[in-house]
Amino acid sequence: MPHLFSYGTLQKEQVQLETFGRILKGKHDILIGYRLKMLEITDPEVLRKSNQKYHPILEFSGNTEDEVEGVLFEVSDEEIFKADEYEVDDYKRIETVFKSGKKGFIYVGK
């Protein structure tokens, strides 16, 4: 089962229900070598679901002292594609390894 790391609005239950049709199960984890910036969202559907004009976006720093905390959710392959649809065009999905040693997908700035 794939893992999807959320450091922002995908942690909100309302966003999960509207995007995946269920509340996701996950565990706290940490992403090393990244930092967060804020991105202004203009997509009306994403604004409606998240009720948030600015969303965090990951930026690779390569600095091992930079850490981003979040939740590593267990998702299906189909749910990965639903997450792709939710994220706006400024994000791209890549796979990485977390502090726990688990692999999973993250959304970073293009």
Q: Residue 89: its pLDDT value, please?
A: 87
Sole residue written with tokens 């981003």: 68
- Structure confidence by residue, pLDDT tens digits, 5-25: 999 999 999 999 999 999 999
Radius of gyration of the chain (CA): 13
Quote the CA–CA distance of 54 and 47 in Å, as a whole number.
9
Count the domains in the chain: 1
Per-residue pLDDT of 79-105, as tens digits, reads 999 999 998 888 999 999 999 999 999
Euclidean distance between the first and the last CA atom of the chain, given in angstroms as a whole number: 26
CATH of the domain at 60: 3.10.490.10
Q: Which domain holds residue 89?
A: 3-109
Q: What is the pTM of this model?
A: 0.89
3-state secondary structure 4-30: EEECCHHHCHHHHHHHHCCCCCEEEEE
